Amino acid sequence: MSLIVRQTGSALTGVRRGTEENIHDAVGPPDTFRSMDLDQTLTRRMHDLYTGLHANPELSMQEHQTAELITSRLEAIGAETFRCAGTGVVGILRNGEDPVVGFRADTDGLPVAEDTGLEYASTARGELPDGTEVPVMHACGHDTHVTAALTAAELLSAQQGTWAGTIVFIFQPGEETAAGAKAMVDEGLWDRAPRPEIIYGQHVMPQPAGTVRVSRGTAMAMADSWKVTVYGSGGHGSQPQDTTDPIVLAAHMVVRIQTIVSREVDPRDSAVVTIGSFHSGLKENIIPATAEFTLNVRSFDQQVRDDVLGALRRIISAEAAASGAPEPDIAEISTFPRCYNDPDSADALLTALRGELGEENVEESRPLMGSEDFGALAEAIGVPSVYWFFGGHPPEMFDAGSQVPSNHSPQFAPVMEPTLTNGVRAAATAILSRLGT
């Protein structure tokens, strides 16, 4: 897989921020946690946890220091813990045996150079499998997910009179490579942890802080990524007649591939095909022997997914044949399962969240073309799941019509509050909707 790396750099520690007044771009004090009290001491501890995680991200399946921190936090509140899939951590909080609810937070960062200007910005470095050193950043907000889940666990542990049952907290590595959820399932997650009746998860997004959006049915798209290697025969740039130019051949593939969605997918369906990279050659007067490109496919429907992937293989093979070239190699980089919200469970969660956060702050939303491997955890044991999105940016950014940095951007920087407190409230509300007394 393309992003499995070894992390290098400093130890993961909390970054003390001092008083609440110097929280980055705060949009106001944390809202009162209506279900349980998120007091000043816990709020400060939550902020320190977040800044430490943000400053020290680790890349997919190499989240060693992050896993150690999560384990220590869970054990401090009396949770049972075990490691799964290397850097995955499972925490079991018991207050009676049944019912059982799962809650998942992902833990990995991305190979992105941070450009937020934050005092606690990441300067971490990681190493790719080929030895290339890269910058590392929590550019998708997984640090907020870990912080919200751990803080919710601490709150629920301290307030056991308000709920009964068992909570399984799943801190999953490798979401960005679609490796983590499958690895945890394959390593026996559900043989070692109590099997939940439902699994919840959440993701911070560039939407107004304080808001939550939930889809009924499909929440996020399936995704497939390939690396395609095209073979020709190289030679001197002045003698193209003696070569099979793989650049021209691959360029025809790229152009033809763009007709799949526009001419082969029913306009009433949805799909996206993106060519993300194209590499070939080393010098302007040499025709190379190979070309390589990567592609990414997004779809909501399994039949559409099958049709698009089939069309890709047909076009790649036919263009090679048309040029008299060998059959190209197609290597799968990653595949993401569907992220599907059980409609009845989503309805129940919408009602609970509106009661906790206010009708005006919670809305039903359309599915996103982004992808997640979250769904694999529930599908493995045939239970429902619900996945929602909570906002991380000041509302005035949207009112002014300014460009809001998206996930995976070097400028992606959720405001600390009310983002974190809202994430905790949403997580605890979901869990209590099943376990609350």
Same-domain check for residues 177 and 297: no
Q: Are 190 and 364 in contact (CB under 8 A)?
A: no
Same-domain check for residues 345 and 311: no
CATH, residue 30? 3.40.630.10
Q: Decide which of 336, 361, 388 is a domain's last residue.
A: 336
Q: Decide which of 314, 336, 358 is a domain's last residue.
A: 336
Same-domain check for residues 75 and 154: yes
Residue 101 within a domain: yes
Same-domain check for residues 195 and 230: no
Q: For tokens 């049944």, what's the residue? A: 98
Q: For tokens 């951007």, what's the residue? A: 409
Residue 195 within a domain: yes
Residue 1 within a domain: no
Same-domain check for residues 201 and 297: no
Residue 254 within a domain: yes
Same-domain check for residues 91 and 170: yes
Same-domain check for residues 415 and 322: no
Same-domain check for residues 46 and 95: yes
Q: For tokens 């000041």, what's the residue? A: 394
Of the chain, the end-to-end C-alpha distance in Å amounts to 45
Q: Which of 202, 88, 181, 141 is nearest to 374 (CA)?
A: 181
Residue 267 within a domain: yes
* 167 contacts: CB under 8 Å, gap ≥ 6: 92, 93, 100, 101, 102, 103, 153, 156, 431, 435
Q: How far apart (Å, rounded) are the C-alpha atoms in residues 25 and 112?
A: 22
Residue 213 within a domain: yes
- Helix (H) or strand (E) run with residue 357 in it: helix 343-357
Residue 151 within a domain: yes
Strand duo 165-172 + 88-95: pairing: antiparallel
Same-domain check for residues 302 and 351: no
Domain residues for 251?
Answer: 222-336
Q: How far apart (Å, rounded) are the C-alpha atoms in residues 432 and 430?
A: 6
Same-domain check for residues 226 and 280: yes
DSSP state of 359: G
CATH, residue 231? 3.30.70.360
As a whole number of angstroms, the longest Cα–Cα distance in the chain is 81
Q: Which of 419, 343, 428 is nearest to 386 (CA)?
A: 343
Per-residue tens of pLDDT for the chain, all 437 residues = 233 333 333 344 443 333 333 333 333 333 433 455 688 999 999 999 999 999 999 999 999 999 999 999 999 999 999 999 999 999 999 999 899 999 999 999 999 999 999 999 999 999 877 788 999 999 999 999 999 999 999 999 999 999 999 999 999 999 999 999 999 999 999 999 999 999 999 999 999 999 999 999 999 999 999 999 999 999 999 999 999 999 999 999 999 999 999 999 999 999 999 999 999 999 999 999 999 999 999 999 999 999 999 999 999 999 999 999 999 999 999 999 999 999 999 999 999 999 999 999 999 999 999 999 999 999 999 999 999 999 999 988 888 767 889 999 999 999 999 999 999 999 999 999 999 87
Residue 30 within a domain: yes
Q: Which of 253, 135, 173 is nearest to 1 (CA)?
A: 173
Same-domain check for residues 314 and 192: no
Q: Decide which of 317, 336, 355 is a domain's last residue.
A: 336
Same-domain check for residues 321 and 400: no
Question: How many domains does the structure of the chain reveal?
Answer: 2
Instruction: Report phi then psi at 139, rounded to 5.
Output: -85, 0
Number of CB atoms found within 10 A of residue 126's CB: 23
The DSSP code sequence of 43-94 is HHHHHHHHHHHHHS---TT--HHHHHHHHHHHHHTT-EEEEETTTEEEEEEE
Q: Which of 303, 302, 376, 307 is nearest to 336 (CA)?
A: 376
